[in-house]
Structures are given as structure tokens and as C-alpha cells.
Structure 1
Amino acid sequence: MFEEMIIAIIVILLGTKVASHLCSRIGIPAVIGELLIGILVGPALLNLVHPSDVLHVFSQIGVVLLMFLAGLESDFNLLKKYLKPSVSVAILGILFPLILCGLVGAMFNLSTMSAIFLGIVFSATSVSISVQVLKEYRRLDTEEGSIILGAAVVDDIVVVLIVSIFSTIVNLEGAFTLSGQLFWDLLGTKILFFFILYVFAKFLLNPFMTFAKKLVATEGEVAIALVLCLAFALLSETLGMSDVIGAFFMGLLLSSHSSKHTVESRVSTIGYSLFIPIFFVSIGLDIQFSAFKEHAIFIILLSIAAVLSKLLGGYISGRLSKIDANRSWIVGAGMVSRGEMALIIVQLGRGLNLITGSIYSAIVVAIIISTLISPLLIKFFIERSAAAKQA
């Protein structure tokens, strides 16, 4: 087990760094290479690396660190400024996939509940891939970057609420009634999270970081920052949201602290040298080409619906919020990636017997296709925006 794990890490780290180098040389986002390495070394092709519990844990730490770094590099004032368009992007970015992908499911004779659930799966956005591309092109701390990050937070909360309500309906076989406990599970826990975050930011953050600076210990300040990152990631997941929400907001709180640059530098080294590459590769490990044989048309139509629904939802919301066309296209492209959020939700659907058999693998393939397309779309629209400015 230990030897297999060490070999897997060697293959992943070597493969992702070489792939990132080659992608940079030919002018495509480096994250594309890292995602493709997961497909290349995984069960789909070379069969050198297999999904495992240890890799899953490393992967989860990787996405938490990635979103913590995104928070550190964000501008809190920009996020507040663009809150309204962020909410608009999130809402249309949920409604469009819910309708389009649900219709695709209905076309292929999925039951009504399964078709609706399929729409919910593709309503989720995984902004971690987009964050990596925006960082690479230095667009994270911009108008469009702030809208994408804000929309991703709103998207995560709303989709979690929808999944919770839908799961309750399925488990109760349609006997859905409102209760105090249900209200607490759906909304109360989320309100509690943001209340704890506010209290911590106002009264405890500075004492914690002052204590960290006084520690006579190697990298004490960075260690305490990581403790806070992981603690709030755990808290947000415990209270019914994605762990990346807690990590992102803790990074955002530290973005205006004097320790920001030290923490960002050290955490970048830790994350990008080990955990973050494993996260990107783990997405590719889930793909199975056998699903293409049985469900090729379904996969193609579902992938098209998945990409267009988020792209158009983001673009239309941007234009309604009076953002220029080029930036609106970047926002739409930044919302296309589904990644780990959709994979988690589709696994829940399998547990509820809404997604069964080979159709599960076909949906996973469509999720990964949309995740692979997203960085290319972001690059295309960023370059088009830059060309328009020069013209």
C-alpha cells in the first residue's frame, strides 16, 4: 500500500510538472495538462495510478489550499462592489443548466426525478479550475475575477440548499413538509457559519495572528494560518456547505493582514509542490472511456448543454449588470467548470438510486469534459478581450 502510494505520487508530480511545462510552451492553460495527466496515467489509459482513499484526502487538501490562496489574492472591496452581478450570475447559472440538462435527461428517457436531479448536478460550479487559470493569466483580482469568485460562493450555497431539499423529497417519497428542524438544516446552519466568521474576523483574527508572530517556532505564522484555513474548511463542511467556502473566506480575511505575503508564499510552495497537482489529476482519474460506447450521443448532448448553459448564463447576467461584452464572456467561461462539486452531487444521486448503472459513468465523463473545456474557453475570451483593448 505504502509503495503503491509513493509510486502514484512520483508519477503524478513528474507528469503534472512536465505537462504544465509543455502546455505553457504551446500556449494553453497549464491546468489542462494536469487534468489530462489524470486521464493518461489513470484507469482510462495507462492504468498506473488508481483512485484511493489517500489520494482522495490529498486531493481534498489540495482544493482547500487552492481556494485559500484564491482568498488571499482577492480584494474584499472588489467582491463587495460586485456582489449584485455575482448573485445574478449565480442564479442564472443555476437555472439554465437545471432546465437544459434536465431536458437532455428527459430526452433519453430518464425518470422525471432523475432528469431534474441531472439538472441539479450540472447547476453546480467548481470554480477551483477557473481560479487556477485566472491566476495564471493574472485576472483573479479584477472585475471579472471578483464576479466569478462571488458567484461561485452564492452558487455553492444555493445548490447545496437545492440538493438538501430534493434529497428530503426523495427520501420522504414526496411527503415534503416544512419543519423547524428542516429550516435549521437548510438555512440556520449557513447563517451560523457566517455569524461565526464575522465574530472571528472582528474579535479573534488579530489576536490569533499576533500570537503566531510571537511563537518561537519554525514557520509558526504560516502554521497558524493553515490551522485557521483547515478549521474553517471543516466548519463550513460540518454546517452543510463545501469545505472550499470556509477556506476561501479565511484566505479573504487574511488578504488584508500584514502576514498575507508570507503566508501566501509559503502556502503556494506547499500546495503547488504536492497537494494541488494531486487534486487536478484526481479529476481525470474518474474518467472511463467505456461509457462512450454505450452513451456517446447522450454524453455529447449533455456536455454541450452543460457548457452553453453556464456560459450563456454568465454572459447574459453580466450584460444585464452593465458589464462589457468581453468581460461578460470571461465570467460565463469561468462558471463552466463542474469539477469536484458535480462529482460529489452525482455520487449522492447514485446513493438515492436516481443515477444508476452505466449512465453514472456517462454523466461523470460529461462533467470532466465540461471541466476540460472551461480553461480553454477562459483563455480564448481573455485573449479576445486583450485584443479588443489593443484594437
Structure 2
Amino acid sequence: MTLELLKMVIFILLGTKIAGHLCNRFNLPVVFGELLLGLLLGPAILNLVAETDGIAMFSEIGIILLMFLVGLESDLSLLKKYLKPAITVALFGVFVPFIFISLLGQLIGMGTTESFFLGIIFSATSLSITVQVLKEYNYMDNEAGSITLGAAILDDTLVVLLISIFTAAITFDASTGFTVPMAWDLIGQKLLFFGMMYLVAKYLITPAMRLSSKLIAVKAKTAMALVLCFTFTIFAEEMGLSDIIGAFFIGMMLSSHESAHEIEKDVDTIGNSLFIPVFFVSIGLGISIEALFSQFGLILLLSVAAVITKLAGGYFASRLMKINRNVALVVGSGMVSRGEMALIVAKIGQEAGYISSEFFTAVIASIIITTLISPLLLKFSIGLDQKEDNTENIRA
């Protein structure tokens, strides 16, 4: 087991560095090459890497560390400044895909329950894919990056809430009515999580980091930061939220601490040298070439609908908030990727029987295709925005 895992990790690490080199040479987003590498190394083509428990574990740690890094690199003042447009973009980014793709589900022969859950799946946004591209092009700490980041975080929270409401509606018993446990699952747990985050930020982080600085041990501050990260990852999951939300928020709380830069540097080394590449490659492992050909029409239809609804939702919401066209296009493009969040929601739907096996493969393929398209779309929109900025600077 251990030797097989090490062999697969060797292929992934060598492959991602070569893919990164080629993407940089041809001016493509590095994450695009890593996603394609998953398709190449996986069962679809070379069959050198499989979706084993070990790869899944490395992948899960990778996304947690990635979102923790995003939190550490966040500018709280910018996120607060663009909170209102971020909320608007998140609302449009969830409900435009939900409405249109639910209707599409009805048109392709799904039942009401299945079509509604299909809408929920494609309402999700992959924060990790978008963040990687924004980081690569230094777009984290500006208007477009801050709105996109805030909207994607709120998007994930809204999708989790939608799943809770959907499940409650499916299992609702009219004879018992709306119960206290149901209210706790829907709202109470989420409020408790954010309340705890506030208390930790105010009363725990500074003493914990002060204690770690007094320890005579190697990288004690980074170790303490990771303890906090993993603790709140678990807590978020227990409260019915995505684990990555816990990792992001604790990273954001640490971002203003005096040790933030040192911690960020250490975690970046740990994450990007091993765990984060495994995560991006793992997304491409689930593609089946046979399924791509056998359900090509359905996959194409779902993929086009998925791209257009997110792009349009993000773009028009931004324009509604008086954001200029090119920045609005960056925001819309940043919301397109479905990635790990949609895959998780789809898996929940399959296990609960909300999505039938007839449509499941096409749904997974469509999620992966939108995830492959999104870095290219985001790069294109960033290029347009940068071109306009350069033109304005020349005129000035």
C-alpha cells in the first residue's frame, strides 16, 4: 500500500512540475496543466495513478492547506470594502444556475427532485481553482480578486444551506411540523460556527501564538497555526459547513498577526511541494473516456449551461453594483469553476439517491470540463482587464 502510494506521488510530483514548466512556457495557467495531467495519468489514459484512499487523503490535506494559505494572504480591509458586491454576486451566482439548470433537468427527462438537486450541484463554485489562478496572476489583492473571493466563499455557504433546506424538504413530515432539531441543522450550527470564529479571533489566537513563540522547538509557530487550521476544519465539517470554509476563516483570522508572513512561507512550502499538486491532479482522475463519448451530447449541454449561467450571474450582478465591464468579466469568470465543491455535492446526491446512475457520469464529466475551462476563461478576462489598465496608464 505504502509503496504503491509513493509510486503514484512520484508520478504526480514529476508530472506537475513538467506541466507547470510547459504551461509557463506557453503562457497558460499552471492549474490547467495540473488538471489535464490528472486525465493523462489516471485510468482514462496511462493508468499510472488511481483514486486510492491514500491519494484521497493527500488531496484532502492539499485543499485544506490551499484554503488556509488563501486566508493568510487575504486583505481583510479589501474584503470588507467589497462585501456588498460580493454578497450580490454570490446570490446571483447561486440562484441563476439553480433556476436555469433545474429547468434544464426537467427538459432532459429528470424528475422534479432530481432536477432540483442538479441545480444545486451546478450552483457550487470551486474556490480553490479560482484562487490558484488569481494568485498566479497577482489578482488576489485588488477589486476583482476581492469580490470574487468574497462571493465564492458566500457561494459555498449558500450551497451548503440549500442542501440542508432541500434535505429537510424531502424528509419533512407534515404530522410533526417544523422541529427544533431541524432548525438547529439548518441555521443554528452555522451561526454557532461563525460565533466561535469571532470568539477565537478575539480571545484565542493571540495567546496561542504567544505560547508557541515561547516554546523552544523547531517551527513552533507554524505548528500552532496548523493545529488551529485543522481544528477549525473539523469544527466546520461538524457544523454542516464545508471543511475548507473552516480552513479559510482561521487563515484569515491569522492574516493580521505579526507571524503571518513566516507561517505563510512555511505552509506554502509544505503545501505546494507535496499536497496541493496531488489535489489538483486528483480532480482529473475521475474522467472516463468511454463516458465522454457515450454521453457526449448531454455532457456538452450541461457544460455549456454550467459555464453560461455562472458567467452571466457573476457578470450581471457586478454590473448591477456599478463595477466596470472588464472587472465584472473577471468576477464572472472566477465563479465558473465547479471543481471539488460540486463533486462533493454530486457525491452526496448519488449516495442519497437524489441523482440517478443514468445521469451521474454525465454530471461528473460536466463538472470536470467546466473546471478545465475556467482557468483559461479567467486568464482571458484578466488579460482584457490588464490591457485596459495599460491603455489607461499610457493615456495618462
| TM-score bracket relative to the smaller structure | over 0.9
Please name the residue that 1:214 is paired with.
214
Please name the residue that 2:384 is paired with.
384
SS in 1 for 2:46: coil
- The reply to whether residue 354 of structure 1 matches residue 354 of structure 2 is yes
Alignment of 1:269-284 (within 5 A): 269-284=269-284
Alignment of 1:157-196 (within 5 A): 157-172=157-172, 177-196=177-196
Give the deviation of 1:294 after TM superposition: 2.5
Q: Return closer, same or farther for 1:247/1:175 CA change in 2, 3 Å cut-off.
A: farther
Residue type at the aligned position of 1:35 = L
**CA distances 1:51-83 after superposition (whole Å, capped 9, x unpaired):** 011111111110111111111111101111111
**CA distances 1:278-310 after superposition (whole Å, capped 9, x unpaired):** 000110011112212332111101001101111
SS in 1 for 2:295: helix
- The reply to whether residue 13 of structure 1 matches residue 13 of structure 2 is yes
Residue type at the aligned position of 2:280 = F
Q: Distance in 2 between matches of 1:195 and 1:103?
A: 37
Give the deviation of 1:171 after TM superposition: 3.6
RMSD, aligned CA: 1.3
Q: Distance in 1 between matches of 2:171 and 2:297?
A: 31
Please name the residue that 1:123 is paired with.
123
Runs of 4 or more, structure 1, over 4 Å off, are: 172-176
**CA distances 1:330-363 after superposition (whole Å, capped 9, x unpaired):** 0011111111111111111112222222421111
Provide structure 2 residue ranges, at least 5 long, that are not aligned to the other structure.
Answer: 392-396
Please name the residue that 2:372 is paired with.
372
Please name the residue that 2:110 is paired with.
110
- When structure 1 is superposed on structure 2, of 175-184 and 342-351 the one drifting more is 175-184
Please name the residue that 2:228 is paired with.
228
Q: Is the 8 A contact 1:70 1:251 kept in 2?
A: yes
Give the deviation of 1:179 after TM superposition: 1.6
Q: Distance in 2 between matches of 1:133 and 1:178?
A: 43
- The reply to whether residue 335 of structure 1 matches residue 335 of structure 2 is yes
Alignment of 1:36-185 (within 5 A): 36-172=36-172, 177-185=177-185
Q: Distance in 2 between matches of 1:175 and 1:125?
A: 36
Residue type at the aligned position of 2:117 = F
Residue type at the aligned position of 2:98 = L
Aligned residues: 391
Q: Distance in 2 between matches of 1:26 and 1:362?
A: 31
Q: Distance in 1 between matches of 2:178 and 2:171?
A: 14
- The reply to whether residue 34 of structure 1 matches residue 34 of structure 2 is yes
Q: Distance in 1 between matches of 2:171 and 2:346?
A: 16
TM-score (norm 1): 0.98
Give the deviation of 1:173 after TM superposition: 8.0
Q: Is the 8 A contact 1:37 1:284 kept in 2?
A: yes
Alignment of 1:274-313 (within 5 A): 274-313=274-313
Provide structure 1 residue ranges, at least 5 long, that are not aligned to the other structure.
Answer: none
Q: Is the 8 A contact 1:68 1:251 kept in 2?
A: yes
**CA distances 1:337-390 after superposition (whole Å, capped 9, x unpaired):** 111111111111112222222421111000001111111111001111111122
Q: Distance in 1 between matches of 2:190 and 2:362?
A: 33
Q: Distance in 2 between matches of 1:175 and 1:286?
A: 43
- When structure 1 is superposed on structure 2, of 364-373 and 99-108 the one drifting more is 99-108
Q: Distance in 1 between matches of 2:175 and 2:353?
A: 18
Q: Is the 8 A contact 1:291 1:358 kept in 2?
A: no
Please name the residue that 2:394 is paired with.
none
Residue type at the aligned position of 2:282 = S
Q: Distance in 1 between matches of 2:319 and 2:165?
A: 31
Q: Distance in 1 between matches of 2:224 and 2:247?
A: 13
Residue type at the aligned position of 1:348 = I
Q: Distance in 1 between matches of 2:168 and 2:294?
A: 32
Give the deviation of 1:167 after TM superposition: 1.8
TM-score (norm 2): 0.96
Q: Distance in 1 between matches of 2:112 and 2:357?
A: 17
Q: Distance in 1 between matches of 2:164 and 2:139?
A: 34
Q: Distance in 2 between matches of 1:390 and 1:308?
A: 28
SS in 2 for 1:292: helix
